[in-house]
Amino acid sequence: MGIWDYQVVAAILFMIGVLGVLTRRNIIVMFMCIELMLNAANLSLISFSRLWGNLDGQIFVFMVIVVAAVEVAVGLAIMISLVRNRDTVNIEDTSLLKW
Amino acid sequence: MEQILFYVFSGLAILSAIGLLVNVRNTVNAALSLVVCMLSLAVLFIMLHAEFVGVLQVMVYAGAIVVLFLFVVMLLNLRGGNMGAESQPVLKLVGGAVAVGATVKLATLLDRPLKPWADIDPEFGTVAHIGRVFYTDYMLAFQVAGVLLLAGIVAAVILAKREID
């Protein structure tokens, strides 16, 4: 298994995440798709870290995981207050800041 | 052996990601397919000699982040009515075309003789190795990550509180 196989898996997972953000309208599922994209980027970073035998990629993945954890905590808190105020998880219903 | 593991777990990751994408009825099932995807990716990480990150993936992603998702889904008690409509078929078609095209482009971009895996010592990616690098070269980043986590905790508590006194 070379670097190519891992990069293709990462690309497919990333594009599934992009597709989810583009097509789904449920804000929680869109959020999960963002997590999926972060994971695909992590796989890419880890495989390149293994390719060069350099640990910096893994350090970067650690940072991505930290940011993802903070993002989920804050994002889900925003979602809770959104549902409490608007009673919806559909992104189309909260379009006040859309152009 | 390595090939079999790679194909099984990358296939599992992609299939569960597709399951997350196409599941429009039930958000709990979507979160559970996300767990399967994270765990398969953890296996791939460990195959790439990133043992510490693989364990971190299981603990933080599958253990904390998805549990938080499930907790919020159950707390909000979303049922058919307030789930909201899905997007138009046109948008789905355009999104699908963009995703497939970009994947093919990314795959062909790297389709050339590539560098083979580097020789690594057996210590690569272990907790001791990562810890040594973290506490020397990346000390500032490590501290900033801690401050970021603190800010996240405070923000989540403030945002999810019912009202500010």
Nearest to B30 among A11, A32, A63 (CB): A32
Query: In which band, very low, low, confident or very high, does the pLDDT at B159 lie, cut at 50, 70 and 90?
Result: confident
Per the structure, the count of domains in chain B is 2
Q: Looking at residue A90, what DSSP letter applies? A: B
Query: In which band, very low, low, confident or very high, does the pLDDT at B121 lie, cut at 50, 70 and 90?
Result: confident
pLDDT, one tens digit per residue, over B23-54 is: 777 888 889 999 999 999 999 999 999 999 99
Distance, in angstroms, between B95 CA and closest chain A CA? Answer: 6
* Residue B85 located in a structural domain: no
DSSP string, A9-61: HHHHHHHHHHHHHHH--BHHHHHHHHHHHHHHHHHHHHHHHHHHT-THHHHHH
CATH 1.10.287.3510 fits A3-89, yes or no: yes
* Residue B52 located in a structural domain: yes
Nearest to A62 among B56, B69, B129 (CB): B56
* Residue B127 domain boundaries: 122-165
Q: What is the CATH number of the domain that holds B44?
A: 1.20.120.1200
pLDDT over 90, % of chain B? 42
- In this predicted structure, the answer to whether residue A85 has a pLDDT above a threshold of 90 is no
| Of B58, B79, B100, the domain-final residue | B79
Residue A26's DSSP bridge partners are: A90
* Residue B96 located in a structural domain: no
pLDDT, one tens digit per residue, over A20-47 is: 888 888 888 899 999 999 999 999 999 9
